[in-house]
């Protein structure tokens, strides 16, 4: 998968440079500023589920999580360079429906905290002042995501997921009217170095906190932003989005007690997450 990702990235770079040289960037609005800063409230519906396990051992979680995101955007008008920085934070409870290792059903609440950051760089091209009011941006970059998952039940403990990813995406921006613009963004996430830390010491201080590598799989993001430009400097954002990411089975990890080995091993089963979100906020152009 990583080799395919590298080949895709090489092709993306070559194609983007050729396109950007042939089609320099033009602003969709006259006098458009190259910089913008966004602040958005984000509400998401998280649907997490373990897969590749027989019933009744699969667990799943569903629920709404509030949060916020900040974005800085740069669109060069003379040189077609695109840059973006994203920071996002979400925290809240989801409904847990699962079982113990012996198969006894458990229904509880899970405390969740998501923190993510992403940096992008790319090239933008458009048809120019006499062409249609559409621009297309190809980008890549580097991202990081952290998930603190506080499980309940009779012996509560937390799990810490973290992973890096390389986004490879395309962003199409089009002008709807004098004040409205829309966008379509699709990106593939090539996940790297995904791991999980299980904090069993929160149950018993004599237990260790095993750390396991997760199987890396490709994730996806789709966003459909709309912006209403109500002044020269300010826009109102409305952004529906969908995210998908998945992990394979982890390697097994040994459990120790007071530093001594035990015959018990644990592993994290494969899982997938679907996230449906709506963001509303403001953008400052400068």
Q: Could you tell me the two tokens for 88? A: 């996002």
What is the average pLDDT value for the chain, to the nearest integer?
88
pTM of the predicted protein model: 0.86
Q: HSE on the CB side for 111, CA within 13 Å?
A: 7
DSSP secondary structure letter of residue 270 = P
Residue 238's pLDDT is what? Answer: 97
Q: What is the pLDDT of residues 248-267, one digit of tens each?
A: 999 999 999 999 999 999 99
Q: How confident is the model at residue 59 (pLDDT cuts 50, 70, 90)?
A: confident
Report the DSSP beta bridge partners of residue 144.
117, 164
Give every CB contact of residue 5 below 8 A, 6+ residues apart in sequence: 166, 168, 190
Q: Could you tell me the two tokens for 55? A: 């019933």
Q: Could you tell me the two tokens for 141? A: 């970059």
Q: What is the pLDDT of residues 155-191, one digit of tens each?
A: 899 999 999 999 999 999 999 998 999 999 999 999 9
Q: How confident is the model at residue 125 (pLDDT cuts 50, 70, 90)?
A: confident
Task: Say if CB 94 and CB 59 are below 8 A apart.
Answer: no
Q: How confident is the model at residue 20 (pLDDT cuts 50, 70, 90)?
A: very low
Quick one: average pLDDT of 188-201? 96
Task: Say if CB 229 and CB 29 are below 8 A apart.
Answer: yes
Report the 10 Å Cβ neighbour count for 193. 12
Residue 55's pLDDT is what? Answer: 65
Find out if CATH 3.10.310.30 is the number for domain 2-26+39-52+68-285.
Answer: no
Residue 219 to residue 143: CA distance in whole angstroms: 12
Residue 99 to residue 101: CA distance in whole angstroms: 7
| 134 vs 223: which has the higher pLDDT | 223
């Amino acid at each position: 998968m990583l080799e395919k990702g590298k080949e895709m990235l090489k092709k993306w770079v070559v194609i983007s440079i050729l396109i950007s040289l042939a089609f320099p960037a033009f602003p969709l609005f006259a006098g458009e500023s190259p910089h913008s800063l966004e602040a958005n409230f984000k509400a998401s519906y998280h649907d997490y589920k373990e897969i590749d396990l027989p019933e009744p051992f699969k667990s799943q979680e569903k629920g709404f999580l509030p949060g916020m995101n900040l974005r800085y955007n740069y669109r060069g008008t003379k040189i077609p360079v695109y840059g973006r920085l994203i920071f996002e934070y979400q925290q809240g409870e989801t409904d847990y429906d699962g079982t113990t290792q012996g198969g006894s059903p458990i229904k509880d609440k899970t405390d969740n905290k998501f923190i993510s950051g992403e940096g992008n760089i790319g090239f933008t091209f458009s048809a120019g002042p006499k062409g249609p009011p559409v621009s297309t941006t190809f980008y890549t970059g580097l991202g990081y995501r952290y998930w603190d998952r506080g499980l309940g039940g009779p012996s509560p403990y937390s799990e810490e997921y973290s992973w890096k990813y390389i986004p490879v995406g395309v962003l199409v921006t089009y002008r709807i009217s004098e004040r409205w613009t829309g966008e379509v963004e699709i990106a593939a996430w090539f996940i790297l170095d995904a791991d999980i830390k299980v904090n069993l010491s929160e149950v018993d201080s004599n237990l260790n906190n095993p750390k396991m590598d997760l199987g890396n799989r490709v994730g996806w993001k789709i966003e459909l932003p709309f912006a209403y430009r109500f002044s020269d400097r300010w826009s109102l954002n409305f952004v529906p989005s969908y995210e998908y990411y998945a992990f394979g089975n982890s390697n097994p990890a040994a459990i120790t007690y007071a530093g001594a080995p035990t015959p018990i091993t644990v592993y994290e089963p494969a899982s997938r997450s679907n996230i449906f979100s709506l963001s509303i906020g403001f953008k400052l152009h400068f």
